[in-house]
Amino acid sequence: MPRYLRWIAAVTAGIVMQFAIQVLFLAIAVGGESDKEITLSGAEGALITFGAAILNVLTALGVNDWLSGKYPVERKGRAVEERTP
């Protein structure tokens, strides 16, 4: 698998994770009851934003690592020798 495809898959997974976290926390912050508003203080909002960014990066790195282990990149110009035991 070419590196650029691995990177595209990893970035896409990170963006999807970021979107899922934002939808989840928006649902929590807005709430289901119309008479009760939930507001996030500065520290809570900062922690959620920081956590979402870290989770986004960890997801992208994890997908990239998983794909590189499953589909290693062959080096150009070298013949691949198969060894039979």
Distance CA(47)–CA(41), nearest Å, equals 10
In whole angstroms, how far apart are CA 82 and each of 2, 34, 76, 79, 85?
21, 67, 16, 10, 10
Q: Give the model confidence (pLDDT) of 23-54 as tens digits.
A: 887 777 666 666 566 666 778 778 877 888 88
pLDDT of residue 81: 56
Q: Where are the beta strands (DSSP E) in the chain?
A: none
